[in-house]
Amino acid sequence: MTDARAHLYVSGMVQGVGYRYFAIRKASSYGINGFAKNLADGRVEIVAEGDRGIVEEFIKDLKRGPISAHVSDVRIEWDKPTFEFSGFQGL
| Cβ neighbours around 48 below 10 Å, total | 28
Q: Whose CA is closest to 59, among 90, 84, 34?
A: 34
- 43 catalytic? Reply is no
Q: Is the dihedral of CA 56, 23, 43, 7 positive or negative?
A: negative
20, 33, 64, 75: the active-site residue: 20
5, 25, 33, 38: the active-site residue: 38
- 52 catalytic? Reply is no
Where in the sequence numbering do the catalytic residues fall? 20, 38
